[in-house]
A and B are shown apart, each in its own frame.
Chain A
């Protein structure tokens, strides 16, 4: 019975990763066919937001699932990325071709700076420091009325004309993120990250510069979140401080836990299901948040490896039955 998705650059891990990646491709392929069901703009919009959250979830998983650093700042970096684009448009009327790369670079720099502080810290200190950073950035953005228009938010120009184009665009974005992370984890860097996650002292003793690699992972994760935020901003044409609420980070973390931490497909499945779920629960009325929170607790308590892990287990069992 699988417990966690284990370490080492062994063949087992590589095969698992490959299987993971192919599943991701299949999920995305399925999503390409969904519009054939004649979905309304509203439903497409929901799926697009789910995909934005999926990208953030994948970046958080890179940091937490593959590297063991539980940052509480993914939503904050997404917000910062979105605001860089928004501010560029509001103050300087820069086109998206300039402001989006600016967002990626900007969040990478901020991420690196924060990372310098944080990668030297252990365990919960990292969570709390990233939490503080997240709250500070949100409060600053929310209160600097002269520059950011406070809680009114900033308008962001849009890239495409219709909802459907945005939908396929986001599928491509999720795909690219998946490919990028897959490539990263297959490389030597990936192996180091996993080693650090599972046994920091051991990794250090083998000569791996843990601070450097943790910093690299942290920076990459932050700038991916920033990128996602910028794209989301372009889609919804509005960025507001609520993007960076701790509640949002909690949502992202829940998605990864429910979907399956330490995998490629897990965060994506988690994002889609959780977000669709929370919208669907709206129908039930006011108790949507109660039900949602409850479901998350049950999952975290009883399905530790998430849906993805569960599916993997099914597959193992099927294989065994097949061979008998």
Chain B
């Protein structure tokens, strides 16, 4: 009698829980998004990506959808943790039965997610994971529309060399992106035959006080401090560099390798410390805007009151690759979609995308991704008003760099 009671209790509770987990696939074409919507990951990046993709999805649906069916984004929260990313993508693929997965914006999460995509042979379009290791793995399911460390490192090394500086110190966050990029800059410098004295220091991105490391530079400051850190740690580092008078100073400038100057919360977090910062950027209003990017810009401003930045366009481009591939392939079959992705050209918001299949750091990567280098010259400056040191497709002009008095 009592055993029966127990059995009933146990069974009913567990089964109840289980049944609510099972769902049925529906008519629309489902595309999965694995982004960060709660800490400890970067929620601000996740939100930007979600907003941008929703705008583009709405645009597609307004024009009649894809293959006669509307598209629907299924969004999962990976919290910026590799394990949650793994289970989120698994849920998207096995339960929600999405056609493709995209949205990734943190390299370590990306690495665990591509394993799942590879296991189920589902197309995975990398939105913003820069780490070389994602490409080097060589999984045929992974298509990269994101910037990649190799090219960012190359450009930064080129800039440093052109600046004719002697000593550079880099602060890298303790992630694959941070360390990978910092190392990459060093290797690129060597490749270009530069004699710059370059070293990098790894900082814990969950720490809140980098003053000791910064103080160590005070007695003999380098010519450039390179940052390969993401917010919020990057904001703190920038503030503390300024506070200690290390950079920006008449001798030292900050050169950012994360493209954070166009984040919506950049200026409210750094204020004076951001002035004179040099940065590599994946987007600048001076870049040629096609109709698509203009439309996106208007809609994004309308919905979020913020100016668009490169992450928005990256997000749109990743979704675009998926939808265009489906349209061209005429089917939602994974193998066919991937085939189209590899062979075709895609007119995205940032330009014409093609994916080269040469193994290595640019495997299935949009190798000719456009980038610029610019310098912030005033507090609260909009990206459009900054000084372009290297416009899209133009040579680097370091004479335009201004130093503080």
A residues neighboring B (CB under 8 Å): 23, 26-27, 30-31, 34, 37, 39-43, 45-46, 49, 139, 142-143, 145, 149-153, 236-238, 240, 242-243, 269, 272-273, 276-277, 279-280, 282-283, 286, 289, 311, 314-315, 318-319, 322
Contacts and interface: CB of A to CB of B under 8 A. Distances in A.
A242 B83 contact: yes
B115 A151 contact: no
10 contacts: A26-B3, A31-B14, A37-B18, A143-B202, A150-B175, A151-B108, A243-B83, A273-B17, A283-B20, A311-B5
Contacts of A153: 82, 108, 111-112
A27 B10 contact: yes
A238 B83 contact: yes
B21 interface: yes
B22 A238 contact: no
A315 B108 contact: no
A116 to B, nearest CB: 29
B6 A43 contact: no
B204 interface: yes
B22 A39 contact: yes
Contacts of A143: 174, 202, 204
B163 interface: no
Contacts of B5: 311, 314-315, 318
B226 to A, nearest CB: 18
B38 A276 contact: no
A43 B22 contact: yes
Nearest to A272: B14
Given A34-B18, A46-B21, A153-B112, A238 B86 contact: yes
B268 interface: no
A277 B82 CA distance: 20
Given A153-B82, A319-B2, A276 B90 contact: no
Given A42-B91, A151-B176, 8 more contacts: A26-B6, A30-B14, A34-B15, A40-B22, A143-B202, A152-B82, A240-B108, A273-B17
The secondary-structure label for the interface of chain A is: helix
Contacts of B94: 40-42
B202 A145 contact: yes
Contacts of B76: 282
B15 A37 contact: yes
Contacts, number: 118
Contact of B82 (A43, A238, A276): A238
Contacts of A269: 10
B154 interface: no
Residue with the greatest number of chain B CB neighbours at <10 A, chosen from A23, A27, A40: A40
Contacts of A142: 174
A151 B10 contact: no
Nearest to B19: A37
Nearest to A151: B108
B82 A151 contact: yes
B62 interface: no
A49 B112 CA distance: 16
A286 B77 contact: yes
B179 A236 contact: no
A-B pairs, top 7 by smallest CB distance, nearest first, are A276-B17, A42-B95, A41-B94, A42-B94, A151-B108, A240-B82, A42-B91
A240 B83 contact: yes
Contacts of A318: 1-2, 5
B130 to A, nearest CB: 13
Contacts of B6: 23, 26, 311, 315
B174 A152 contact: no
A236 B1 CA distance: 40
A282 B13 CA distance: 18
Nearest to B204: A143
B90 A237 contact: no
